[in-house]
Amino acid sequence: MNLFNKKISVVFVSNNTVKGVKVSLNDKTIASDIYETACNESNFSDCITDVVSKLKTKEIDLLLDDQLCYVLNLSIDKNIDKHNERAEVFKLVQKNIPELLKDSDWDFKEISEYDNKIGILIFAPVKTKFQFIAHAILKSECKVRVVESVSLAKYRNIDPFIGIALKKDVRGIDSQVLNISLEQFIPQDQKDRKIKIHRIFLLLAAVLISGIVLTLIYFIFSNTIRNQNLEAINNNLQNENEDLSAVILESSDEDKTSETTKSDENVKKIDLSLYSIQILNGTGKAGLAAKVSELLKTKGFADFKIGNADKNNYEKTTILIQTIENTEKLKEILTEVLGEYEFASNEPLNSEIKYDVIITLGNDLIIGE
């Protein structure tokens, strides 16, 4: 695929129409013929399969007519525990959507902050309709990158086909991503078969690796025996081979020195995923803590707690390292990612919660968009 002219296949579905196009991301235009067919409940699956086949693709963006979706603009308490945020939003879903939905049938995204509230956008396909659409797409053996309504796609471009192709919030932090997966509609036997294939692949990989290891052991053992034989011959011919013995000994010392150096380098490496980090947003900039966590993930950190500081007018960014292990190495890595900021050594910012690193973001923080 030409990365400079990437094309996204988009399939639009309404109650009586299925339409497919390819969108060029390079110039944001419809880059192919439009494949459209009228459908009804009796031939719905065949219509979707036919359009996907004409697009000649294995991955699509699924654009749903607004009549097939619920889109809600609501709000929740700003001080809500982030670990319980989705559960609280689910209560709003149950209250405002007249269908019995499971957790996988809907999604939400934080879109604004005001007063003591967080504005959220809730999206859920009409379940009674979407299950038929999902089964038809799965039957065509096509993956779905994103599911979105026409009205949401138009926020990015007046043409919803182009709008959905431009969607980037597909994976990531739950509250920052708005998307629906078709995983729930995959038959259990198909999931079990996929798991079985994965296990077989892992078994074959293990056998292959074991074979390589055994081959290396045999090679090393053979070399050891051969070296011992050479040493015995050299002992019998000391007067004639003193120079050769010296060269072999020097080479052996160099190999040992190299192995020791590599071992020392490995000791210096630390597993950053083991360190817990709390990121507190002390500015008025929404989503800044999430951006910082994404930057730190690129270095190997994985355990984050994101929230707001006790005020939103911190002038300086401070970094408190509470662990006594690899402190200087952590400072070096954090400075590389965020820049030169104040490293604190006083009492923890929040004594009730223990983290290895606590970062309070101030207005002096500068990161790329």
- Parts of the chain with a pLDDT under 70: 1-4, 184-196, 198, 234, 237, 239-268, 345-353, 368-369
Mind listing the pLDDT tens digit for each residue in 124-147? 999 988 888 888 888 888 899 999
pLDDT for res 266:
44
Pick one of 3.30.70.20, 1.10.3470.10, 3.30.70.2390, 3.40.710.10 as the CATH number of 272-361: 3.30.70.2390
pLDDT for res 267:
40
pLDDT for res 260:
47
Name the token pair of 134.
Answer: 């999902």
Asked if 363 contacts 314 with a C-beta cutoff of 8 angstroms, the reply is yes
Domain coordinates of the chain in residue numbers?
187-227, 272-361
Mean model confidence pLDDT for the chain? 82
**Among residues of the chain, what percentage have pLDDT more than 70?**
83
Element (H, E) at 46: helix 44-55
Asked if 178 contacts 167 with a C-beta cutoff of 8 angstroms, the reply is no
The DSSP 8-state label assigned to residue 156 in this structure reads T
Q: What is the C-alpha separation between 323 and 363, in angstroms, rounded?
A: 26
pTM > 0.85: yes or no: no
Q: What is the C-alpha separation between 168 and 199, in angstroms, rounded?
A: 32
